[in-house]
Structure 1
Amino acid sequence: MARGYTLSRLKRADEHMWDAQPEGFSNTVRWNAGHIYESAEDFLSRAMNDYPVAKAEWAEFFSSGTSPSSWPGIPPAEEELIAALKDQGKRISQLTEEQLAYRLDPPLSIGKLITMETVDEVLQFLTWHEGMHAGLIDGLMKVNK
């Protein structure tokens, strides 16, 4: 559901919206889309030893703490980001109940408030995280009309 919402927003984004960074926003539509993708790859690879990370080279563009103003080169194109998000969604939907129930040792933590003990809990966090960034994408699109 979250991925469908994200993709619907991205498909509606005009070309000029992808890299516009209005005052009050710390990133762009392109960065938020890439960050959703990269965060899922990062967290799932840390939670599952056998998760096949795709597009590892995108971390330098989209990891937490990065910004379009400090990108090391040309970021992925809109079509490439959308295709990667679609593919990632398919890969995630193929996880089995056994994989989702896998207990992490040690658990993954974000600060002191969030501790994830299973792959399912990691996916719950990633869904919330994606929804938050999809909301930012929506806001950026409204401001950049």
Structure 2
Amino acid sequence: MNNHVKWNMGQVLFTLERFAFGVNGETMHLPEHYTELFRTGSKPREISASWPSMIELIELLEGQVQRIEHRYRAHLHETVLSPYTTSKGLKLTRVEEFLSFCLYHEGMHFDKMKSILSQNIRKFDIL
């Protein structure tokens, strides 16, 4: 595999932040070096920056959910400033479309994390 659990968690965090706030021209509330770490196509073994702790990632994810709920409680149907077309050709134009896509995206990364963790557990089971 080209990545690890922290990268997958950070990719979920980074993409949701970009799709919830960045596409509307709002400030993304993430450390600046997260772009290098978690942008699409990044590979952990090619990055020299230090990785955040699991606790930091979890806290940022929890806070992110609260910020999204607060910001978009009554604005899910708004059109974003920067529409986006996914790699599969799906065009996203409204907040609700971006957030729905992020659920799909999160599920893909959750599956990768489960796979990584189960492979590592199996390695230790044979010792």
Bin of the TM-score, shorter chain as denominator length: 0.7 to 0.9
Do the aligned partners of 1:31 and 1:61 also contact (CA within 8 Å) in 2?
A: yes
- With normalisation by structure 2, the TM-score equals 0.84
Report SS of the residue matched to 2:71. Answer: coil
The aligned residue for residue 57 of structure 2 is 81
The alpha-carbon deviation at position 70 of structure 1 amounts to 1.2
C-alpha distance in structure 2 between counterparts of 1:79 and 1:112, whole Å: 33
2:29 is matched by which residue type in structure 1? A
The aligned residue for residue 65 of structure 1 is 41
Pairing partner for 2:28 from 31, 41, 53: 53
Pairing partner for 2:6 from 4, 26, 30: 30
- With normalisation by structure 1, the TM-score equals 0.75
The alignment yields a C-alpha RMSD, in angstroms, of 1.7
Judge which range, 122-131 or 35-44, deviates more. Answer: 35-44
Report sequence identity in percent.
27
| Structure 2: segments with no counterpart, 5+ residues | 122-127
2:35 is matched by which residue type in structure 1? A
The aligned residue for residue 138 of structure 1 is 114
| Structure 1: segments with no counterpart, 5+ residues | 1-24
Q: 4+ residue stretches of structure 1 with deviation over 6 A?
A: none
2:98 is matched by which residue type in structure 1? V
Judge which range, 129-138 or 107-116, deviates more. Answer: 107-116
Q: Quick one: structure 1 residues 78 and 40, their matched pair in 2 at CA, closer, same or farther if it must change by over 3 Å?
A: same
C-alpha distance in structure 1 between counterparts of 2:80 and 2:91, whole Å: 10
Number of matched residues?
120
The aligned residue for residue 10 of structure 1 is none
C-alpha distance in structure 2 between counterparts of 1:112 and 1:96, whole Å: 26
